[in-house]
A and B are shown apart, each in its own frame.
Chain A
């Protein structure tokens, strides 16, 4: 075994964002008890610095792409893209959480920010792992941190329910995935994605086709749970509704993006030779996910629940691009997730503000007359909702366009037609929010929206600017995604 015990400088650089975040998170745990109760917001500042450093390091690491730690980890355009994306998502979540916890007095503690940082390590590993065991560990770090964050307000019954459901179902799903990984190891003798691919190309397919399919199916169950694809989506509405709004944002944006990165990497590298066999299953899953998400969202009156179903539907659109199993498809997944993350975080940040202390105002009707009460907030929410619908000059439009272009490119005509119809039908429930916001007078009980702190303002402005940027000038991100998609194979 040629691997040296001492890692090289390149090895370390490629892992450096994760190292910084791990060490920084541990440091936060150490100084947390030393900070006074009134100064917990400082922990947020530390988290912001750490995440910014990790972003910078991942850009630096990209200057010298390659694998590290004997093929365990790979730094390429794809992983760098998703690293930046999940870090950005974490950054925005930290920013909006400061306000949230200021409101929910007495529940803030430094562990929350440390958990976000740890969770980012997991998500970053999911994006960059080239090895099923590491992938699994990354997934578990991210998930366990997520379970705890979902139930962070322990005195809140909804938080508890949310955390417990997420934990039970999530553990079940990861068990499936781990079982699948074990099968893959048994069949191919390796858990390294490149080796598995070679083994499949080199005859494992002929020798044990059915067992390989079962193994990938088991893994797919785990992935499908994490991306909330139908029929493994049932946890999403309960968890998003119950969890604190910033956590719901984090779970539906960052965690989902990382899960898609993991799914795409595995599907496009190790199991690419099998992709034709999987097309039908992915096709059906994508369609079912879009339909279930959209039609369930139509009937919701709670906005967090509606957004949960909408995020299920968006997972369906992204799965359409995954079904295309082409480079264009991968680039479409990347672009879609970039704009999806921005608009989702933005919407949840607005919901966080409107919901007020104890999240009292989370019905769609509570948004009535928002344009009079908080015009700037209403405009920001309008941008996000239009992006979710897919109106031009917002990121959501080019995202959908790119996804369906990729699908048509791979001759998925019917899936494209059904997907497009779905996206038109979806406009209805987003429009409902716009309708109450602009066209109905404010309800009697609706108090003034609390003044927004600097953090959440920054988060909303950044998401809105990002959404518009992707809609007006998508070239930069599209070009990068196009190049990065070629590196996956």
Chain B
């Protein structure tokens, strides 16, 4: 019972935060709303007994990335952007699409709910503990994707440096 209550609380936080992120005018407000949304997701992780993910979410996303975001936003003065015309002028169409997508998702979930009860999908908490299990997966089974993810990041860094660096000529 308490679980369900917490679930809806965190879910509300996540969704409301997300909506505020795309509707707020000031970049700072957007970033703070995003933090709220991410915190909501972190809470959901905790409810799923994924303590490690919960910690990572807090430390990396909220503590690291988002704080960096805020720094950048406050360093470059974006006040002028707040006064400009916003992109969400077609909110009516967007709302209809969102409602439709939500409704179809709801319908599907109600139709297919039994399939989520399958034993594979709901692994029991391992005696080894969450972190060990994750490490085991990452460094044994998913070793290659894990290593290659670093290449993905490298490419992204190279790209952003290339895009941002001053032209010499």
Contact = CB atoms under 8 A, between A and B. Distances in A.
A155 B167 contact: yes
Nearest to B161: A111
A133 B142 contact: yes
Interface stretch (A187-195, A251-259, A381-389, A419-427): A187-195
A59 to B, nearest CB: 21
B79 interface: no
Interface residues of B, number: 32
Interface of A: 1, 3-5, 7, 15, 18, 22, 26, 29, 69-70, 72-73, 106, 109, 111, 114-115, 118-119, 121, 125, 131, 133-134, 137-138, 140-141, 144-145, 147-148, 151-152, 154-155, 185-190, 199, 204, 207-208, 210-211, 214
Contacts of A208: 112, 114-115
B169 A106 contact: yes
Contact of A190 (B120, B143, B149, B167): B120
B108 A144 contact: no
B143 A69 contact: yes
A144 B144 contact: no
B108 A188 contact: no
Contact of A118 (B111, B118, B151, B167): B151
Given A70-B141, A141-B152, A115 B120 contact: no
A148 B154 contact: no
Interface of B: 108, 111-112, 114-116, 118-121, 136, 139-145, 148-149, 151-152, 154-156, 158-159, 162-163, 167-169
Nearest to B169: A106
A341 B52 CA distance: 46
Contact of A211 (B115, B119, B136, B141): B115
A3 B141 contact: yes
B149 A137 contact: yes
Contact of B108 (A3, A115, A131, A210): A210
A207 B114 contact: yes
Contacts of B142: 72, 133
A134 B145 contact: yes
A118 B150 CA distance: 12
Contacts of B118: 187, 189, 204, 207
A147 B121 contact: no
B162 A148 contact: yes
A69 B163 contact: no
A144 B155 contact: yes
B158 A114 contact: yes
A140 B158 CA distance: 14
A154 B115 CA distance: 50
A134 B151 contact: no
Nearest to A160: B163
B162 A186 contact: no
Given A154-B167, A190-B120, A134 B144 contact: yes
A5 B140 contact: yes
Contacts of B149: 137
20 contacts: A3-B141, A5-B139, A7-B143, A18-B148, A72-B142, A72-B145, A73-B144, A109-B162, A119-B155, A121-B148, A141-B155, A144-B156, A148-B158, A154-B162, A154-B167, A155-B167, A187-B115, A189-B120, A204-B115, A211-B111
Contacts of B168: 106
Nearest to A132: B145
A151 B159 CA distance: 10
B154 A69 contact: no
Nearest to A37: B168
